[in-house]
Amino acid sequence: MTPKTITTRDVYGNKYTANLTDLTQTIRVYAVIVRNNALLLTKQWDGYSLPGGGVELAESLEDALERELKEETGLDITAGKIFYNTDRLFQRSAASKPVQAIMFFYDVTSITGDISNQDITESEKTYTTGAAEWIPLSELQNITFRHSVSLDEILKNLPK
């Protein structure tokens, strides 16, 4: 019997076909922080992405978000509420295993500290290309956004 196949995508939009039996799951959390008409983004994959990442075993979603933000941005944050969730079938490359990423997008209630990327992990160094930046909302259409969920989809769900 032929295994069932699935179609996945990478951050560049390339499609891959993978066996369902190779699929794993990951839980991801992301912060969507707008301050002074600018969105906080990290420099990744030759473009920009939202700060956030994977939830570790026995870690709460909020603790994971706060840890990821500290690692990727140097900022201390307090997680607010989940305002959007979705999932995607993702693959980093043709040679990597397919993943179903279950994603939660949070607003943030407080931010302190200075932007830095000195706390990024060895794994994050493979795709992070610089420190986080505040990108003016008026400039978002001019950047390359590298995420499995479109920035428009995320922002249209952001509470006003």
What is the rounded distance in angstroms from the CA atom of residue 148 to the CA atom of residue 160?
23
Dist CA 126 CA 117 (whole Å)? 13
Residue 103 belongs to what domain range? 5-156
- Cα distances (angstroms) measured from residue 130 to each of 117, 119, 158: 7, 12, 26
Give per-residue pLDDT as tens, 3-50. 799 999 988 889 999 999 999 999 999 999 999 999 999 987 788 999
Taking residue 27's Cβ as centre, other Cβ atoms within 10 Å add up to: 16
What's 23-50 look like in SS3?
CEEEEEEEECCEECCEEEEEEECCEEEC
Task: Give the predicted TM-score (pTM) of the model.
Answer: 0.89
The secondary structure of 59-126 as a DSSP string is: --HHHHHHHHHHHHHS-EEEEEEEEEEEEEEE-SSTTSPPEEEEEEEEEEEEEES----TT--TTGGG
pLDDT in tens, 49-87: 999 999 999 999 999 999 999 999 999 999 999 999 999
Question: How many domains does the chain fold into?
Answer: 1
Give, for 8, the enclosing helix (H) or strand (E).
Answer: strand 5-9
Q: What's 88's domain CATH number?
A: 3.90.79.10
